[in-house]
Amino acid sequence: MTVTNAIDMIKVAELFTSAAHTSSVDSATEIASAEAIVTEELGHGMDRSRDNISYNDELNVYDRVASGSTSFNAVNAHMRSMQEMVIRMANPSELLVIGIPYIPLKLGIGNVTLSNNVHLDYMERHMDISGLSYDTISLADIENAVFPKVFDMASIHVPQVNHNFDIVYNIYDQLPVGGVIALTSSNDHGRVFEYSDAHDYADLFVTMQDTAGANLYHMSAGLGVSVITKSS
Q: Is 163 in the site for other proteins (CB under 8 A)?
A: yes
Q: Does 6 bind other proteins (CB under 8 A)?
A: no
Contact pick of 16, 28, 43, 50 for other proteins (by CB under 8 A):
50
> Binder to other proteins among 27, 39, 138, 215 (CB under 8 A)?
138
**112, β-bridge pairs:** 95
Query: How many residues contact other proteins, by CB under 8 A?
Result: 30
CA dihedral 189, 168, 195, 192 (to 10 degrees): -30
Write down the least CB distance from residue 107 to other proteins, Å: 19
- Interface with other proteins includes 209 (CB under 8 A)? no
Cβ neighbourhood burial of 76 (10 Å; 0-12, 13-18, 19+):
buried
Helix/strand/coil for 169: helix
One of 13, 31, 53, 85 touching other proteins (CB under 8 A):
53
Q: Which of 26, 198, 212, 232 lies at the binding interface for other proteins (CB under 8 A)?
A: 198
Examine residue 128 and tell whether it contacts other proteins (CB under 8 A).
no
Nearer residue to other proteins within complex by CB, 88 or 125: 125
Q: Are 38 and 66 in contact (CB under 8 A)?
A: yes
CB of 14 to other proteins, least distance (A): 26
Exposed / middle / buried, residue 225 (Cβ in 10 Å: 0-12, 13-18, 19+): buried
Smallest distance from other proteins to CB 59, Å = 9
CA-to-CA distance for 98 and 138, rounded, in angstroms? 10
How far apart are the C-alpha atoms of 152 and 147, rounded to whole Å?
12
CA distance 27 to 123: 15
List, in sequence order, every residue forming a beta bridge with 217; answer none if it has no partner: 227
Query: Using CB under 8 A, which of 18, 27, 39, 52 touches other proteins?
Result: 52
Minimum distance between the CB of residue 166 and other proteins, rounded to whole angstroms?
11
According to CB under 8 A, which one of 195, 209, 213, 215 is a site residue for other proteins? 195
The answer to whether 99 and 171 have CB atoms below 8 angstroms apart is no
Task: Verify binding: residue 55, other proteins, rule CB under 8 A.
Answer: yes
> Which residues make up the interface to other proteins (CB under 8 A)?
47, 50-56, 116-118, 120-121, 124, 134-136, 138-140, 163-164, 188, 191, 194-195, 198-200, 203
